[in-house]
Amino acid sequence: MIVKNHNILLQDTSEAEMARFRQIMLGVWRQQIDDDRNAREMEQYLKQNDIKQFSETLKSTDFDNSKFVDSNSNANGYYYNKNGKFEGKINIANNKGNSNDVYVCDKKGNEKGTFFNAIKLDITHEIFCYIAGVIKAEDSSSFESAAATTQATFNAVKFEKGDELSIKQQGELAKKLLSTGYSTATSKKMLEDSENDNFSNNARKGLIHVLQGKKDYSEEGILWDGIDFADKGIAHNKAKKDGGISITRELWLKFVTNSEYKLDSKGVPRLNRHPKGKDGKGHDRDKTKEQALATIPFEEEKNTSTKNYYYNIFDFGEEKNSTWDVAVDSKEVKNLDYYKTTGTGKYNEGRTLNKATAVVGRHIFWKPYKEHPNNKGYAWEYFMDHKL
């Protein structure tokens, strides 16, 4: 206990005020004694259990599925900073740790081969680099898009194998899942540590985010779609044989807007869907934004005037679908906030299994629509099974 002498001058103080002042000071003194005793007990506990004290206080989420190593670690393994940049590796004989371990840190230490505030992640370097590589090929245009796609993959693993998996087991199965047709990325290879561009760092940062159990940007999604869904809309397999969809107009507009566009031969922006082709005009036949929006036939009242004219062009190239799911009030005004289709597959006919949850980057995410009345009694083991 630290003792300091202070002179306090009290003037014109009543006996009652003096009594209350003494009670306050006694309370402060007793609290200091308790704090000192707790500090001594904690110090003794740390010594008995060989636990180091750390100079920086971490948020509780920083401990999720990870292990704090040291404020200035030199354990064997690969080190990445919190932005996904590779900082270096250590592989010294007889050193603690495994050379295939993965850590996230603040930065390199002052001494060679040391790293500040390193946290061990429950994943091997090989799996870390493979997952990050596929996520980069999918969409790592932003940290959020990489985190959402990674989280959806981990969510899918838990959907297929159960919620009791450790984060290490989830990572192992996520690698296996991404190697299947679950991901349609054209490139599936390990991300090299030497790659230091924004897309690479975003992919690693997104994976680190998921491994530490932080925010789910996919909003419980387990599947996603990209530009092919913007191109096809309700003609896409997800809206038919893959179980039907439920999507809000807000998410649809955001998704189509976020899709990748490229100028055609006449300078018109079109979905960057197809190469030029032999005749040089393949891309010229890709859809414009307005045409893409029309592939899900949301409508507004005919007498509605709006500056957002693309809401009123949904007759383009699409017949009215017989599976409109719209409420009609007493004035016969349609509720056009969302659109629904039903499945046409062997096990999902008449169901609406896919609910759009979020648009992040160039992906739209879907979760199983378990609460929809159409899906009562559905055997969800048929929804997705990659034999993990």
Residue 11: per-residue pLDDT: 63
HSE-up (13 A, CA, CB side) for residue 366:
23
Q: What per-residue confidence (pLDDT) applies to 7?
A: 59
pLDDT the model gives residue 89: 95
CA distances to 132, 191, 271, 277, 317 from 266, in Å? 37, 37, 14, 16, 21
Q: For 300-357, how does the pLDDT look when each residue is reduced to its tens digit (9 = 90+)?
A: 544 444 444 334 334 333 333 333 334 444 444 444 678 899 999 989 999 999 999 9
Low-confidence ranges of the chain (pLDDT < 50): 51-69, 301-335
pLDDT of residue 35: 72
Task: Report the predicted TM-score, pTM, of the whole model to 2 decimal places.
Answer: 0.75
- pLDDT at 10 (0 to 100): 60
Per-residue pLDDT, 23:
74
- Is residue 242 a contact partner of residue 345, using CB atoms and an 8 Å limit? yes
Domain boundaries, the chain: 73-217, 224-300+336-382
What is the per-residue pLDDT for 110?
A: 83
pLDDT at position 32: 73
Judge whether 147 and 136 are in contact, CB under 8 Å: no
**In this structure, what DSSP letter does residue 231 have?**
H
Q: Given this model, what pLDDT does residue 316 score?
A: 35
Closest CA to 249 of 383, 352, 356, 177: 356
Confidence (pLDDT) at 336 = 62
